[in-house]
Structure 1
């Protein structure tokens, strides 16, 4: 009753229900909710490649990334955000993903309860025991959200849960426009007392408007029913297309139009943004074409779409949303066609491609193994053309190969061992031998050994002393040295 635009969006189909409440206090709240809802509607199917809860969470995270992209291309949208409460039905289970302060209620086996938890500041105070629930209703910061989708968090934390479902149970999703006016007991009374789902949502909206409705109000009531086509397993029942405008008792999901006191934007899309239609005729035509593409995609499944998301698809009123949604739908259609073509090719068996694929990997691995073996063999062959001089059993020796090892494998072997003790060398030459002396070939290695022998003799055989002194044993020092020299040949 006080908003000049509708920031809520909602979609309900046979397997998917989503309610999103854009942050009305920020620019682009309607863009955020519409973009998020339209980005999720392709999940309205009974076949998924992964767990429904995982898929739902991943798609909401992807929708959050899209909001960041929208802000990047349109900085004036900075700060926009939206709540999301979504249900995805698969076989006997219902996946729930939730963030923000929109709510999910369940009526099952006679018990009515709130399933979702508000991500608000006052709810955190209640959880911490610092605030009583009745005090939260009048708290000055009761509308402060702690978690939402938007451009402020690349990976927002979602509440995720999965529930066993039975035919006949009802779920209610709503934006906080409903709970700002009605108590849970009021909502429960209407949900229990209404046999017709459309009557139920109409009554809830009327009661909200009568209470002053300070915010947009969107309500979706879903009833689990047996799938008449499949014969087993619960599913939301088939219901008329939104274009017919008809509703009856067989409808398993119903969302009423959101009441708004603003002028009907659908009747004058050219002037809704304050622009001249004549100047932007081409742009308007492009937006209408994109909106038509989205409508065509939605027409393939029974559904109800309301709020900012419906406005975007009907009129192209939110160009950014229609453009991105059309692009993503076109990409998904191309991917689906490619996957279908590949599946058909595999089923026909006419093409040799599957057999070729089977031997491609073994052949590739065989070639890689052969190349590796050749590289190892060539490397080892090259090492056997090399020589070096080193130490072997405290003797100077000639080695064939390189001094490195490859794990437990030695890449060299002894070719010749001399009679030169390594200890007989000077410290400098001894260190060089222990570190190995590379040689160009076997002949060069022999020359190095000869040079080391001369070095050893120079150390052990100093020039003869002409003196006649005697050592303690009666022999001269020169005689002792000459005796030692005889050991190095």
Structure 2
């Protein structure tokens, strides 16, 4: 950006880096019993995730994804911020697959992700699913993201009008999401130019129930970010949206000396200031076998608050008490959040506040903190607590057996299909007799035959019996046999459809008898009269038949 020269020394002052002001709000909505949406907004990162998966997994999917990405809210990138953003989303996808592997009840869960990462004067954009990203620049409001839905594909192909999408019965069918359905989902990625004053709106599909012009007017006319998100959510609730709704507003500004004042809100007290001691003293603190485990770190953290930020103070208790893993992971997450201005809403905020962070069995606290939050080097002693190392060979054996079974099954299916392609049959195509290669069966969506030849013989020229046989298909041993069947059908086709297939033609006309003598003929002899009185027997003639052979 252009910076005026300092008249005192003739030099340009140092350029101020760009950061984001932000505000966020999430609401469960009028109908849903739980919030499956999650969102995070900070000075360099904004992300919205809309989870799905029914009663069990929607909130887990969105919370795990958002909490896995919060460590990206920083500015120390070396030209690879876009790549890191995409890789982190793929890592979150792997995390969801591992969670499903540990708990099969979560099978089928997934989440959308729409994220912005501001780094090095550029805005890196990543998107999958039907959450949306809008940009307001110089008075122009536009949707930047593309919905990965079935109806959007129909619109792109020209098979559906945009105004028809809202009433389409499959408008909520997603074509691309994060989850255990795809090991490497396809993301929409882009690097966009940015300038101070740009405003971005990230939202879940719950906001779609508000008219587009109302959303645009609110974003343009409401200058305060907090008021803007509150208004948009209130409009959604007034519209009777049956879904959760989550809204994040960010504005690109120059960084000021007081970073916290540049943000829309300070650190959320319920997340950043929540300490284990406070949780233990609360009236609703969980009791049971975890109370003793939680008591020890509470005392340590209360006695030495300054040492909590060091990596060793968090890792060392985990090596002596494996039951503290989830609690310490939540505490590390809280400290990570407390280190920067941010706003966390939805299922992710609930997980951070309660400590119910989705974790992977076999990962130590140090590994979780290093890989998902602080990216610090992993302590060597952390590997001693790795309990799944002996199970790795078993996993390879399982995958090998599964691969072998799939290979045998695939070879068997291929051989069966190859055999079907040596067979032929006669059937109907476009009201004409046709020859097909294969068998007249289907294996699920796979048709086991293909059209070989369409003859000029119309079905209407065949007798009803032959028409019925052809429609039911007539099997043939090979192509020559199929051609023979067609020739036989052509013979039966010489008979009109009304006559059917006769078993025999009418007898040949009888030989006419000798004419009787005329009564007026006086010369007629008695012998002649006797002969005339006895009718002449017609000479026998063979009765021709028509063979109605179709396939035999």
TM-score, normalized by length of structure 2?
Answer: 0.52
Query: Does residue 9 in structure 1 map to residue 38 in structure 2?
Result: yes
Cα distance, 1:177 vs structure 2: 0.7
2:142 aligns to what? 113
- For residues 119 and 40 of structure 1, the distance between their equivalents in structure 2, rounded to whole angstroms, comes to 21
Query: Does residue 178 in structure 1 map to residue 207 in structure 2?
Result: yes
Structure 1 residue runs without a partner (length 5+): 246-265, 271-276, 340-489
Would the aligned equivalents of 2:71 and 2:374 in 1 still touch at CA under 8 Å?
Answer: no
Give 1 or 2 for the bigger CA radius of gyration: 1
Give deviations 1:152-205, integer Å, cap 9, x for gaps. Answer: 1000000011111110110000000111x1122111000011010000000000
Q: 1:194 aligns with which of 191, 213, 222?
A: 222
2:288 aligns to what? 278
Worse-superposed segment, 16-25 or 118-127: 16-25
Q: Cα gap change, 1:148/1:334 in structure 2, threshold over 3 Å: closer, same or farther? A: closer
Give deviations 1:69-100, integer Å, cap 9, x for gaps. Answer: 11111111111000000000013210100000
Cα distance, 1:278 vs structure 2: 3.1
- For residues 19 and 169 of structure 1, the distance between their equivalents in structure 2, rounded to whole angstroms, comes to 18
Cα distance, 1:101 vs structure 2: 0.2
Query: Does residue 86 in structure 1 map to residue 115 in structure 2?
Result: yes
Query: Does residue 336 in structure 1 map to residue 376 in structure 2?
Result: yes
- For residues 283 and 118 of structure 1, the distance between their equivalents in structure 2, rounded to whole angstroms, comes to 46
Would the aligned equivalents of 1:7 and 1:24 in 2 still touch at CA under 8 Å?
Answer: no
Query: Does residue 32 in structure 1 map to residue 61 in structure 2?
Result: yes
2:416 aligns to what? none
Give deviations 1:319-377, integer Å, cap 9, x for gaps. Answer: 548997955542247863589xxxxxxxxxxxxxxxxxxxxxxxxxxxxxxxxxxxxxx
Q: 1:243 aligns with which of 246, 252, 268?
A: 268
TM-score, normalized by length of structure 1?
Answer: 0.59
Structure 2 residue runs without a partner (length 5+): 1-29, 271-281, 296-323, 380-552
- For residues 3 and 58 of structure 1, the distance between their equivalents in structure 2, rounded to whole angstroms, comes to 32
2:74 aligns to what? 45
Give deviations 1:239-258, integer Å, cap 9, x for gaps. Answer: 5433358xxxxxxxxxxxxx
- For residues 269 and 125 of structure 1, the distance between their equivalents in structure 2, rounded to whole angstroms, comes to 51
How many residue pairs match? The answer is 309
Cα RMSD, aligned residues only = 2.9
Q: 2:235 aligns with which of 174, 195, 207?
A: 207
Matches within 5 A, 1:83-482: 83-179=112-208, 181-229=209-257, 237-244=262-269, 277-278=287-288, 281=291, 286=324, 287-320=326-359, 328-332=367-371, 336=376
Worse-superposed segment, 190-199 or 277-286: 277-286
Cα distance, 1:53 vs structure 2: 1.3
Would the aligned equivalents of 1:291 and 1:322 in 2 still touch at CA under 8 Å?
Answer: no
- For residues 195 and 282 of structure 1, the distance between their equivalents in structure 2, rounded to whole angstroms, comes to 50
